[in-house]
Structures are given as C-alpha cells and as structure tokens.
Chain A
Amino acid sequence: MASINDQAKWKPRRLHAGFIGWGFILLSIIGISIFYFYPMVQALILSFQSGMGASLEFVGFDNYIRLFNDPTFTSALTNTFIYLLIQVPVMILFALIFSVLLNDPTLKFRGFFRTAIFLPAVTSLVAYAVVFKYLFAADGLVNRFLLNINIIDQPLQWLNDPTLAKFTIIIAITWRWTGYNMIFYLSALQNVDKSMYEAARIDGASALQQFFFITIPLLKPIILFTSIMSTIGTLQLFDEVMNITSGGPGNATLSISMYIYNLSFEYTPDFGYAATVSYVIVFLVVILSIIQFKVAGDRD
C-alpha cells in the first residue's frame, strides 16, 4: 500500500497520464459506439416495429409471435442447426487429425502438406463459393469424376436436391475452414511437452489412445476456442449460401443471415421483422458465449 503522502505526490501526474490515456482510446470508443452499440439498440427498437420501408409503427411483441408461425424462419433455423451440428464437429475432427499427423517431425513433405491444406483459407468466400457451385453442378466435375469411377450411374442433383444441397454447403465450408483450424492446433501442439508422449508409449498406449487421452485433453482450450468461433461463424453464414444455392431449392439451404437479407432487401422490405429475426442470432451467440466463458472458467 502506498502511503497517503505518496498518493498525493502522484496524483497530478496520474491525472495527466489518465487524460492522455483516454485520448488514445477515444476514437475507438466513439467508433464502436456508433457502428456497433448504437445499431444494436436501434435493431432492438426496430424489432418491436412493423411496416413497409420507412413507414414503421410500434406493434409490441407481434414480430416475436410471428417468428413461431413462420415456416421460412423455421427452415432457416433448422438449416443453420444442421450445418452447425454436422459441419463443425467434422471439420474440427479432420483439423485435429491433420495437425497430429503433421506434428510428427520425421514426416517428409510436412511443409507441402501443411501449406496445401491451409491454402483454401486464403480464398475469398465469394470466389470459392462460385467455384464450388460449378464443381457441383449437374454436369460439373464432381459428377463427372463419380460417373467415371462408377460410384454413381447418373449425375447427382447436388444443388437441386434438398438434402444434397445442404450436404454441398457443408462440404464447401469444410473445405474452406479445415486448414485454418488446423493451424491453431498445430501451433498449440508445438508447446506440448514431448516427454508426455514418450511416457505414454513406454506404458504401451496406442496412437489412438494417445490421441484421445493426451492430445485432445491438452488441446481442450484451443478446441473450445475454435468451436465457438466456428459456431458463431456458422450462425452468421451468408456468402456461401447466397452464391452456391441462393438458399434453394425451395428454402432447403436458407440460412438465418440470408433470410434477414431477403426480408430487408429482396422481398418487400420489412425492417422490423428482419430485426426481430436478427435478434435470434444475437440471442444464440450470447448463449454460446456464456457457455464458452463457463467452460473456460471451469478449467482454471
């Protein structure tokens, strides 16, 4: 504890430093308030309003009630959860397997494999989405390849069948993000004490046992971090759906973000209801973040 004298002596200097310190962060406070917090409040107010375009009036909880009777919203929500529950675990599992295999210093061509698997992460979402749309077209290369090796005897309707179209979106996102997540695990693995694996080997643990009982527990924090990031990303999925399937066939691949976009800019604009739908994403993200903090808190 500083004595009262010390505090008195320090006060002017600290006040001065404090003033300058606030100066450094002022622009950021203003910017984030204008472009994040203020719009959030606006969206909340909008979610209680309805009407076309600029003529909005308060309707209480009508928009929220409408959510429950809106089949398109139900589709968008269901689709988003299907993407989440299948894509995120599959991608994380692949990323983990790649990182463990590539962490072996005796492996040849490590640099090549690592760069190749990471490469999809440098593409823009729109660019790779358009490429995937053509790859998975009825007369696209994927069907040609599958026909040639006789796995199928007629072209699959990747983009026009409700189930296959969801599958195509999942394949696309997994292609784009697996290498990205792998890099996080690789860098975490580099900090893992090699002697733990030595000890496990001496005790007769198989590679699979080492993976499940050493690697995964050690990487738990980073796995958690990447799954939350991926989950939040998937909840906001837009670019791929818009450019690969435009939400179709029917609404089979529609995501929540794309529904919000359609409500605001494609159909007769209903900003109020669109804001209500957007608060569903906010709600889901907040819940997931709370879960993250809880689980992350548990490990300390």
Chain B
Amino acid sequence: MKKFKRIFTYAFLGVASFISIFPFLWMVVSTTNKSVDVTQGRLLPGAHLLENLRTLFETVNLGTALWNSFVIAAITTILTLLIGSLAGYGFEIYRSKGKDIVFNILLLSMMIPFAAIMIPLYRFFGQISAHAPLIGIDTLAAALLPTIITAFFIFLFRQNTKMFAKELVEAGRIDGLGEIGIFFRIYIPTMKTTYAAAAIIAFMNSWNNYLWPLVVLQSPSNQTIPLLISNLGSGYSPDYGVIMTAIVIATLPTAIIFFIMQRHFVAGMMGSVKG
C-alpha cells in the first residue's frame, strides 16, 4: 500500500512536471524548425534555427525592441530600488505617528486596479506631450514613469528594514556621517540581499509589462518585446518557427535570472507576505 502510494506520488508529480515543462521544450525545439513543421506537430529539432533568426532580424525590429525593453527595465529597476528603499528606510528608521498614517494611505494604492487609472494616465501624458514632448505619449519615458514608484516596493523595503540593526545608524551618527551618508554608506551595503530580490522583481515586472506600453507606445521604433510578440502572434499568416524564436529570446533574460538567482527570486516573492 505504501509503495503504491509512492508510485502514485511520483507519477502525479511527473505528469505535472511534464505539463509544466512541455511548452518550454516545444518553444525551444520549434526555434529550429520551419513553420510548416511546427504546424504539423514536429517535436524533433531541425536545422532551421539560423534561418529563423535571420528572418526574425530582417522582417521585424527585434534588436530595437530588445533595446527598448532593456532600457525601460534597467532605468525602472534602478529608480524603483532607489526611491522605494529611501521610503522604506524613512518610514521605519524615522518612524512617527504621522508617517505611519501616510504609509497606510500609500499602501491603499496597491488596491488600485491598473485598468482604472489607465485612461486618466493616458490623457495626462497626452496633455504633457504638447509642453514636454520628451516625456509625452509614445516615448520610453512615458512607458516607465508610472511604473517606477509603487507601494509594493516601499512595503518590501520597510519590512526588510525591520531586520536592519538600528545601532548601525547610531554608530554612523557617532562617526560623523550625515543621515543621507548613513543610508548610502551603511544601509545599502548591508541590505544587498534585499536589493537583489527587489531588483529581480522590478526587472521582471518591467520586462514583461504589456498593457501600459500597449496604450502609450505607438510607433514601431518604440516597441517593446511583449508588444512585438503580441503583434507577431496576431498576424494573419504567422511564421511559427520565427515567432517561437522571438518568444525564446524574450524569455531567456528572465529564465537566466531565475536559474542564477533562485534564492533571491523566492526571497523577493516572499517579501510581500513577511511581517
């Protein structure tokens, strides 16, 4: 009976793992096959990878889309971490009744569905366009600005700051460091793991963001990777091999981050429930 249970457990987890991995295997195998082979359900690697890559770079602006996504994700990550950690630190180290009230009000913004603020944001950036075209509609700046400051990261940093030894702040003051100096010279180096976890989440969120860029970015030269894939996928005569190649390239950065930094990855996810 016990042995039977064991076998059942392995079979169950085996099937679940197979279903979880299969789409990945199919994606990767399909990058090496012709479109016809993909539609006919070929599951063996072919010799069409270079051809698919060439078609991809020749027919669509994959390079530009990768660059746009990278620029947006990199700037978003840096600013999110800086501003979010400044606030998390401020709320916890300089704790006061007033700040706690403000903190709770800021947390309320986590309940705001993006669909509800999408239209006012679109109109807002539309109005800005006339005065400051550099951050108006159809600019990378407009695509990243509303995503930089989120209550989630303030919350995450505040929760983690609870474990930061406050004596270090006193020690810094005695050493003659200013309050901002303490933050940059003591807090940031001590909290490296929190920053790593937060960076992974911020980068992935931005890299995969779809709805807001879809609304605000219009010209092909400003396309991000999700927009490009979505466009390829909704085409009338899709070249499956080429699309799969684009999807694999788009997924690679996040998959690599996951495999290299698995521990930080999970720590980042958990950061949202701790406390």
Task: Give A residues with C-beta under 8 Å from B.
Answer: 17-18, 20-25, 27-29, 31-32, 35-40, 42-43, 46, 94, 98, 101-102, 107-109, 112-113, 115-120, 122-135, 139, 141, 144, 175, 179-180, 183-184, 187, 207, 222, 225, 232, 235-236, 238-239, 242-243, 246, 256-257, 260-261, 264-265, 271, 274-275, 278-279, 281-282, 285-286, 289
Show 7 A/B contacts (Cβ-Cβ < 8 Å), sorted by A: A22-B99, A24-B89, A25-B87, A27-B149, A113-B16, A278-B115, A282-B113
| B266 interfacial by beta-carbon distance below 8 Å | yes
Question: A35-B146, A141-B41, A187-B270 are contacts. A119–B247 as well, Cβ < 8 Å?
Answer: no
User: What CA separation (Å) do A298 and B49 show in the bound complex?
Assistant: 58
A246 touches B26 (CB 8 A): no
What is the chain A residue whose CB lies nearest that of B232? Answer: A130
Other CB < 8 Å A-B pairs besides A42-B124, A124-B226, A135-B23, 7 of them?
A22-B94, A29-B102, A40-B117, A43-B117, A238-B211, A242-B230, A261-B211
B residues near A118, Cβ cutoff 8 Å: 20
Question: A27-B83, A126-B210 are contacts. A184–B269 as well, Cβ < 8 Å?
Answer: yes
Question: A101-B13, A175-B20, A236-B114 are contacts. A31–B83 as well, Cβ < 8 Å?
Answer: yes
User: What CA separation (Å) do A289 and B107 show in the bound complex?
Assistant: 12
| B168 interfacial by beta-carbon distance below 8 Å | no
A residues near B273, Cβ cutoff 8 Å: 184, 222, 225
Residue among B41, B117, B257, B269 with the most chain A CB within 10 A? B117
Question: A21-B96, A35-B145 are contacts. A46–B120 as well, Cβ < 8 Å?
Answer: yes
Question: A24-B90, A25-B99, A122-B254 are contacts. A278–B113 as well, Cβ < 8 Å?
Answer: yes
Residue among B122, B149, B179 with the most chain A CB within 10 A? B149
B109 touches A36 (CB 8 A): yes
Interface residues of B in 188-238 (CB under 8 A from A): 204, 207-208, 210-211, 215, 225-226, 229-230, 232-234
A residues near B207, Cβ cutoff 8 Å: 124
B250 touches A20 (CB 8 A): no
A43 touches B116 (CB 8 A): yes
Residue among A139, A222, A225, A257 with the most chain B CB within 10 A? A257
Q: Which of A109, A112, A232 has a CB less than 8 Å from the CB of B113?
A: A232
A residues near B148, Cβ cutoff 8 Å: 31
| B27 interfacial by beta-carbon distance below 8 Å | yes
Question: A131-B26, A139-B39, A278-B116 are contacts. A39–B17 as well, Cβ < 8 Å?
Answer: no
A35 touches B121 (CB 8 A): yes
Residue among A36, A184, A282, A286 with the most chain B CB within 10 A? A36
| B132 interfacial by beta-carbon distance below 8 Å | no
User: What CA separation (Å) do A37 and B106 show in the bound complex?
Assistant: 9
A18 touches B94 (CB 8 A): yes
User: What CA separation (Å) do A17 and B98 show in the bound complex?
Assistant: 13
Can you list, as one digit per residue, whether each of B223-264 has a CB less than 8 Å from chain A (1) or not (0)? 001100110111000001001100100110011011000100
Question: A117-B20, A125-B210 are contacts. A271–B9 as well, Cβ < 8 Å?
Answer: no
Question: A22-B99, A25-B87, A28-B84 are contacts. A126–B208 as well, Cβ < 8 Å?
Answer: yes
Interface residues of B in 41-96 (CB under 8 A from A): 41, 83-84, 86-87, 89-91, 93-96
| B174 interfacial by beta-carbon distance below 8 Å | no
Interface residues of B in 101-133 (CB under 8 A from A): 102, 106, 109, 111-124
| B156 interfacial by beta-carbon distance below 8 Å | no
B94 touches A21 (CB 8 A): yes
What is the chain B residue whose CB lies nearest that of A239? Answer: B210
Contact size class for B? 35 or more
- Grouping DSSP codes into helix (H, G, I), strand (E, B) and loop, the B interface class, with mixed when no group exceeds half, is helix
User: What CA separation (Å) do A23 and B183 show in the bound complex?
Assistant: 12
Question: A18-B94, A31-B83 are contacts. A183–B266 as well, Cβ < 8 Å?
Answer: yes
| B163 interfacial by beta-carbon distance below 8 Å | no
What is the chain A residue whose CB lies nearest that of B258? Answer: A122
B117 touches A28 (CB 8 A): no
Q: Which of A27, A37, A279 has a CB less than 8 Å from the CB of B109?
A: A37
A126 touches B26 (CB 8 A): no
B121 smallest CB distance to A (angstroms): 5
Q: Which of B115, B123, B240 has a CB less than 8 Å from the CB of A261?
A: B115
User: What CA separation (Å) do A91 and B13 show in the bound complex?
Assistant: 15
A10 smallest CB distance to B (angstroms): 13
B266 touches A281 (CB 8 A): no
Question: A40-B112, A243-B234, A260-B118 are contacts. A122–B251 as well, Cβ < 8 Å?
Answer: yes
User: What CA separation (Å) do A203 and B95 show in the bound complex?
Assistant: 49
What is the chain A residue whose CB lies nearest that of B16? Answer: A117
A244 smallest CB distance to B (angstroms): 9
User: What CA separation (Å) do A134 and B270 show in the bound complex?
Assistant: 33
Question: A135-B23, A187-B266 are contacts. A238–B91 as well, Cβ < 8 Å?
Answer: no
